[in-house]
Structure 1
């Protein structure tokens, strides 16, 4: 993520204080013409999966941090863009430590959760008594009402610099100018007060967020959908489609534009090359309510953070995995297919196939290329968004046919955060 205008990311070891002494602490779309295999299908064929982001659980710092795009619900540690120690508590100097952490390089919908040192905490948004400091975190109270941790956040639509940073945290050594707005950048401000029982080192944060608002063609009545959204007016975007796989892929193909400048995705694909009726049908398949572990849920939702140095094709592949989906390109036109195959539109028999030369194929592959079981990993929100192994899927009949061998492949589902969806895909 970029530093705000005039900000320099703080590298480890720059801050030395009572609170913390010592180190700061721990495009071109690459999809072949025809039908692109999903990541799960690739894994079943023995092909290695690409690396393409997902949950970013470690705070990034330094001057060369990639910008990023956030889709749907996910968790990020963000990137550090400013930090300072300041103030006194009793006789203790530099008793407060404030960090500015960028969450996304664009506006987001909201901050929905916070983890501190791996534990989920409660932000008391009803307590506004601290003013510009932000909201207290309940788990970091002592003696009933003495708070030691506060947070506030901006969704990226802010137009002025934060007054707490400008008037309270800023110092001559590390100034924070009133011109440091962070325009178009979603960010959080976290402030900790020294307490040896609560903090034994540098506090680590993870933020659960709902990513950018997206254009949902199924909600555009001028494109064949039903609703007020318009591609030409981003202020109309946003809704339940922000979490749907097909909507996210559509926006990647059309390109992500921020502040009038291309940020990520393709740059020359027009709406005419993404047939509206086709995409609307697939968006609605993603939206279809199916039975999940806790009741009905949309069939295919995905979420994650994509750094802009990720090959666009790899990012698309990872998203497609969330719905056993395929992306089809023919003569410059892109279509998507999610989930189970749709009804056939035509039929033909062997008698209608003409061949001018011999055709060969391999009906059975060698044992080294055979798969009869599958394992998968995914980020689990109920376990701090850490990677979790899903229950494996075995087939005893296939194992017997393969000489009583269990031949497994693994599918990393980095953008799928619901256990029920992972099991359906397996």
Structure 2
């Protein structure tokens, strides 16, 4: 919590020093305040009040949807090309599969992990959700029971690739050095099947790969951009860098990835940098980095490009905005008002909505995010609720919202998705859309700029309030600039930025379930013959599922004793030798304990209890097994 509050304080301080928007200072200089309202303007406002709920703005649009699936190893030859962003799991799309060798004992599979290469790195391979290592790294052999069974070779997707993914065993048909897959991060796996062998694969295991995705253009690392420093250039992908910032990924997606001698676009939109409001994206990236908001996941070339832009911006705490042919953006952050809208600045009929629809005005959101703890599945975090809003509403109004590019690393709490959900809740309570036709001097204001409405009765409920510009329209014929606005409540920012996420519960845990003690079950010590150096135990005659008997060495601390191999007792009334010849040597006292076993889950051993070697048949009624309860 302290870390989150510290970040919130830093972001508020940074935002307080930033004039909103990249070109708004000119507009702020032109603003005048304190002008008396004219009767004509007042009547225009009063006559133009309208609910306007059918007016859609970019900041009240539906949440983004992208179709990328990260965990399924698919085999669709017509599938779209995946694009991987940030550090995330890659499922792989199978593009080649052939059996070869004697009796087709080898099965070779080539999977595409991401287009728009090269990606930054492939760091880990998973088989059936378990990490595995290959001798020689990611281009090597994985042994099963000491035998070579799986081979793997990877590439990051350089364009062009210096060589193809050469098989490490056998010669797959129709796979030649001409199949380089330049520009694609890919992996080649070969599996060996041998029905007559002692150690063999019986089915194709499920594979996944953890990696770091495509390279991006970061204006902050471009010395040709004002304030930038570094070799990064928007029109030279060889200078691009790895980034986990959603806004840097978004501006890169807008530019697109171009490959080959003729610079063919293979992914993204394909916009010229002149059509992008770069200062707005730089500001948004700085705020997202200060908040530690990251973006990662998978989209495909078949996804709607605007939906991809929205999903990347959503992970960065905002949304993209279009001004005709110009792409800009808005990020949630504390704002300082840089101008005032006076009553005499309104020169046409206004439309003011004092609230959003009841359906959208929620007081709680259950956010869905990608969890590394759940092997990169989309899971719901704990519901984020604003108790003040709920008290005002008199009942709980919640909905589930997906944040497809928001991830939570293993062992951490999903604070980012909780903070983004909090912002969505707070923004849903703001009044809007507010459409005001204004004089041409408001031409310099853009989306994200904060203005103040003059405290005049004609403005009604929005009088004296701060507002955020969400859209701007220019009407040359009427010499009018129409701004679409939304109210801005400063108190929402510290509340949203202080949220701590509640992770989804773990349902696939290897931790043993709790055991409870049941009445003692007798295990009888039947032989402790020092001459034969054996220790034997008879199981009860009553039915049982299984007991494991543990023996330790000559120590009164069973935990530190060197144990004799545990033996499972699973037949009623049977005598089991639990310590064999050679294991009882030169020691007159041993310590033993028992554990109850059910469905391959064992309790902790109960003990220790001492046994004297050579004392003959001794029944120890205090030996007790524990039985798992229904809880």
What is the TM-score when the length of structure 2 is the normalising length? 0.51
Give the alignment of 1:96-107 within 5 angstroms.
96-105=106-115, 106-107=117-118
Partner of 2:120: 109
Partner of 2:235: 232
Give the alignment of 1:43-62 within 5 angstroms.
47=62, 49-62=63-76
SS of equivalent residue, structure 2 residue 366: strand
Partner of 2:287: 285
Partner of 1:30: none
Distance 1:213 1:53, change over 3 A: same
Distance 1:421 1:358 in 2: 37
Per-residue deviation at 1:199? 4.6
The correspondence for 2:265, drawn from 249, 255, 262, is 262
Distance 1:339 1:63, change over 3 A: same
Per-residue deviation at 1:187? 0.7
Give the alignment of 1:10-49 within 5 angstroms.
36-37=58-59, 42=61, 47=62, 49=63
Superimposed CA distance per residue, residues 142-172 of structure 1 (whole angstroms, 9 cap, x where no aligned partner): 1xx334333220111222223326x7232xx
The correspondence for 1:76, drawn from 90, 96, 109, is 90
Distance 1:70 1:220 in 2: 23
Are residue 375 (structure 1) and residue 375 (structure 2) matched? no
Per-residue deviation at 1:369? 4.4
Partner of 2:251: 250
Give the alignment of 1:173-184 within 5 angstroms.
174-184=173-183
Is the 2:237–2:257 Cα contact (8 Å) retained in structure 1? no
Partner of 1:161: 164
SS of equivalent residue, structure 2 residue 415: helix
Superimposed CA distance per residue, residues 112-169 of structure 1 (whole angstroms, 9 cap, x where no aligned partner): 222222x231324xx339xxx93234xx531xx334333220111222223326x723
Are residue 330 (structure 1) and residue 330 (structure 2) matched? no
Distance 2:141 2:401 in 1: 40
Partner of 2:584: none
Distance 1:359 1:284 in 2: 34
Q: CA RMSD in A?
A: 2.8
The correspondence for 1:128, drawn from 129, 136, 148, is 136
Per-residue deviation at 1:50? 4.0
SS of equivalent residue, structure 2 residue 385: coil
Partner of 2:205: 203
SS of equivalent residue, structure 1 residue 415: strand
Superimposed CA distance per residue, residues 199-235 of structure 1 (whole angstroms, 9 cap, x where no aligned partner): 5533111222211111111100011211111223222
What is the TM-score when the length of structure 1 is the normalising length? 0.74
Are residue 420 (structure 1) and residue 415 (structure 2) matched? yes
Per-residue deviation at 1:54? 4.0
Is the 1:55–1:74 Cα contact (8 Å) retained in structure 2? no
Distance 1:264 1:364, change over 3 A: closer
Distance 2:211 2:323 in 1: 36
Distance 1:265 1:347, change over 3 A: same
Distance 2:175 2:351 in 1: 70
Per-residue deviation at 1:80? 0.9
User: Highest CA radius of gyration, 1 or 2?
Assistant: 2
Q: How many residues align?
A: 353
Is the 1:74–1:210 Cα contact (8 Å) retained in structure 2? yes
Distance 2:269 2:356 in 1: 38
Are residue 307 (structure 1) and residue 300 (structure 2) matched? yes
Bigger mean CA offset, 350-359 vs 183-192? 350-359
Distance 1:362 1:338 in 2: 23
Gaps of 5+ in 1: 1-32, 291-298
